[in-house]
Structure formats: structure tokens, C-alpha cells
Structure 1
Amino acid sequence: MNQEIKTLTISIYTENNIGLLNRISAIFQRRHINIESLTTSQSEIEGVNRFVIVVNITEDQAKKIMGQFEKQIEVIRAYYHTDEETIYTESCMFKIKSSLLFEEPQIQNIIKDSGTRIVTVNKEFFVLEKSGRRNEIESLRRDLNVFGIMQFVRSGRISVTKEEMKITEMLSAFNNQ
């Protein structure tokens, strides 16, 4: 029994049906598991979506909920992976008053040093975009917070596995039914 709590990335490959998100979140809710982030998009196979959900649970808990996910009619397959088994990133955007870009030279250094990209600049505000690990994004947020952030948004995790996943063949077979 592996009882150590880990950050796990759960990938759920599904048909795109209404109400599935509610049923997936209910599985976590019944077990009092908090979802750290959730992203959904089309997968590598047309007509098949992929949920990427980050949770802090034990591998034993993960194994149990994989079975619950796969009982859902629209779920084709569910997997979980540790951080060491995946390549992952998040994205964020910051909206900041334009005057600060010119009045605070420190902001220009923060932008340059953090690898942040300026998306747009107008008279009232400018928007920054950054992709990276959550700790990098949080560090940037702390640095910019000193100057005042008008708006901030961060995406959920997106990830791919380091090892080849056999899901592509399974999804191809599913798609050709």
C-alpha cells in the first residue's frame, strides 16, 4: 500500500458529452479530494477529449478513482502519472497599468529576467503572458504584485507523458468504430 500523498496528473480520455464534467467532479467530491487544476481539450484523436486534472492524493486513491472514471460510459480510458513521469506547464496573464511600464524600470527587468512576453500595450494597460511551472508563475506574481496587478489569470496544467502511451492506438480503434 502506497500511502504517501503525491501530486498526480490524471488524464481522462472521453467522448465529448454534456454532463460528464459534473460526474467526474462528483467522484472527487465524494472522496473529499480537492482538484488543484483542471484543463480539458481535444486529444490527439479527433472526436476524443482529454481532461488533465491535478490532485494531491496517494497512488492507492488514484487507482480506486481510475476504476470509477472508467465506469462512466463516455470515458474511454483514465491514467495517472507522477510529476517525474510527465512534462508539464501552465500559462498565465497579467494586466498592469501602462504608466508603470515607463515609470518603474524594475518592471522591465522583471519581464526580461522571467522570460515573460508582452502581449499588448495601450494607453491604459499592458498585458504580460508567461508559461512555466507553477512556482515560476507564483514568483512572478509576487514580484509584480508590489506594483499592482489589475487582473491575473492562470491556466490549469497541460502535460504529456515522458513514456509512450499506448492510448493512441486504442483511440484510433475507438475512432474507427
Structure 2
Amino acid sequence: MEEKQNFTISVYTENKLGLLNRISGIFLKRHISISSLNVSGSEIEGVMRFVIVVHTTETWVKRIVGQIEKQIEVIRAYYHTDEETIFQETALFKIASSLLFEERQIQNIIKESHAEIVTVSPEFFVLSKSGRRDEIEALYDRFKPYGIMQFVRSGRISVTKGQMPVTTILKEFQH
């Protein structure tokens, strides 16, 4: 039996209304959960990049990428293993300001985790932490006993270790 693993799917597209819904529908039909989803501009002007993380088999990820590429607005789609990508996430933690001054351990946690204080007000302070999901989850676990007022984590952002052929393909169309 084929082993499940994390795959990062990169989808280069035109910026068209409704495309996100159609792409997410491809996963829904196959009962495959999306672990992380991020949509942003790409290295090519006017081209969007979806970064989708799924935990499945290589057979299924190949099928999904094939279905995604059938969408008219999709220029190209690729999949990569974690070993083939450089990736991270970012999280924001909102915590009561009183803890920053009353609990010496809070300052140690911030320093040890390499988190960054984004803002401080009389009521709360906000920390930013970028890194791998397990680093962010570990920091969450350390702050949880003190009380977290708000928490949010981004989807994965990634670049491949190897060259992405889509860059060359798209540059040819721009000339």
C-alpha cells in the first residue's frame, strides 16, 4: 500500500473569479482535506500562485494536479514533497500585556523562540513567529497556560529547491 505524505501543490493561474471554488471542489470530490492554502501573486506579473498542502499518496496527488490543470485559467500545476521545498508559516499571538511585565518566563519564551514583538499596548502585546508548523505549535503550547487572547496562523508559503519551469514558460509569453 502506498504511503501517505505531505505534498505542496503549486498552481500558477490567471486571476479569475471563481477559480478558488473550482480548485477546492476538486479536493472535495475526492474527499481529500486541504491542510493549508495560500494564494498570492507570483514572480510573474499578473500571475497568481496557489500553494496548497495535502496529506495523501503520490498517486492521488498526481490525479489532483491533472484535474487542476484542466481548468481553463490554470497555466501550470506542480507538486513537491517537503524535502523538495523550503517552506514556513507565520503566526500572530495576542497576549495580555500584564504578563509581559509580571511573568519573567514570558520574556524567556519570546527570546528562546526567536519570536518578534510587533506591538505593545496597555492591554495586550502581539508577537509574530515565522517558522515551520511544529515550531509555531510548540510556541502555542508554551503560551497556552498563560492565556492567549487571539491566535492566527498563515498557510504555508514555499519555494522549490529546484528551478520552477513555469517561470521560463511564462517569460516566453511576455515577449
Counterpart for residue 57 of structure 2? 58
Counterpart for residue 160 of structure 2? 161
Counterpart for residue 40 of structure 2? 41
8 A Cα contact 1:100 1:107, kept in partner: yes
Give the superposition deviation at 1:173: 2.5
1:2-151 correspondence runs (5 A): 3-151=2-150
- The 2-side partners of 1:16 and 1:166 are apart by 20
- The percent identity for this pair of structures is 66
Give the superposition deviation at 1:166: 1.4
Give the superposition deviation at 1:174: 3.5
User: Secondary structure at the residue paired with 2:141?
Assistant: helix
- The 2-side partners of 1:3 and 1:27 are apart by 21
- The 2-side partners of 1:113 and 1:45 are apart by 37
User: Secondary structure at the residue paired with 1:146?
Assistant: helix
Give the superposition deviation at 1:103: 0.5
Counterpart amino acid of residue 18 in structure 1: L
Counterpart amino acid of residue 85 in structure 2: T
Counterpart for residue 152 of structure 1? 151
- The 2-side partners of 1:38 and 1:173 are apart by 28
Supply the RMSD in Å over aligned alpha carbons: 0.9
User: 5+ unaligned residues in a row in structure 1: which ranges?
Assistant: none
Runs of 4+ aligned structure 1 residues displaced above 6 Å come to none
Larger CA deviation: 147-156 vs 60-69? 60-69
Query: What do the CA deviations read for 1:18-64 (whole angstroms, capped 9, x no partner)?
Result: 00000000000000000000000000000000000000011110111
8 A Cα contact 1:47 1:175, kept in partner: no
User: Secondary structure at the residue paired with 2:80?
Assistant: strand
User: TM-score, structure 1 length as denominator?
Assistant: 0.97
Counterpart amino acid of residue 16 in structure 1: N
- The 2-side partners of 1:122 and 1:170 are apart by 49
8 A Cα contact 1:14 1:74, kept in partner: yes
Query: What do the CA deviations read for 1:133-164 (whole angstroms, capped 9, x no partner)?
Result: 00000000000011000000000000000011
User: Secondary structure at the residue paired with 1:96?
Assistant: strand
- The 1-side partners of 2:16 and 2:38 are apart by 16
User: 5+ unaligned residues in a row in structure 2: which ranges?
Assistant: none
Give the superposition deviation at 1:127: 0.2
Counterpart amino acid of residue 142 in structure 2: D
8 A Cα contact 1:45 1:175, kept in partner: no
